[in-house]
């Protein structure tokens, strides 16, 4: 289980056309440490924040994906929908937990994850 406080921004995910090159750049420039999950995904730690780089065919103009930690994923999804958010990617499993993506009423896309 994570030690992240409930309902807090916990992770940021960046698109990358070349995940290995992104890893090399940030490790060399800032000293971040990485854990690879295949050729299309690597997670990082900068000593304070955790995040990842996900392979994408195009990056130009794509914003990073902010990920919020919630202990109860189903409850978080219900609250998102009850307050005008739209689920744009239903909950799915990944190494370490489950998450879903949503858009808020202003059109911002975020994700919510849980390890429970």
- The domain locations on the chain are 8-114
> Which of residues 116 and 72 earns the better pLDDT score?
72
The region of weakest confidence among 3-7, 22-26, 84-88, 91-95 is 3-7
Question: Coil, strand or helix: which one is 36?
Answer: strand
Distances (CA, A) of 77 to 74, 82, 94, 112: 5, 9, 17, 8
pTM, full prediction: 0.77
Mean of the pLDDT values across residues 75-91? 96
| pLDDT band, very low/low/confident/very high, at 2 (cuts 50, 70, 90) | low
Q: How confident is the model at residue 1 (pLDDT cuts 50, 70, 90)?
A: low
5 by Cβ neighbours in 10 Å (0-12 / 13-18 / 19+) ranks as: exposed
Is the predicted pLDDT of residue 3 greater than 80, yes or no?
no
Domain 8-114 fold is 2,3-Dihydroxybiphenyl 1,2-Dioxygenase; domain 1 (3.10.180)
């Amino acid at each position: 289980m994570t030690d992240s406080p409930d309902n807090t921004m916990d992770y940021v995910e960046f698109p990358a056309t070349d995940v290995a090159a992104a890893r090399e750049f940030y490790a060399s420039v800032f000293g971040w440490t990485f854990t690879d999950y295949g050729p299309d995904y690597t997670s990082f730690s900068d000593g304070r924040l955790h995040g990842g780089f996900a392979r994408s065919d195009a990056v130009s103009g794509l914003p990073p994906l902010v990920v919020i930690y919630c202990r109860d994923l189903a409850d978080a999804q219900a609250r998102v929908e009850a307050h005008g958010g739209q689920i744009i990617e239903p909950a799915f499993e990944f190494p370490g937990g489950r998450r879903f993506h949503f858009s808020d009423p202003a059109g911002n896309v975020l994700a919510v994850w849980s390890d429970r």
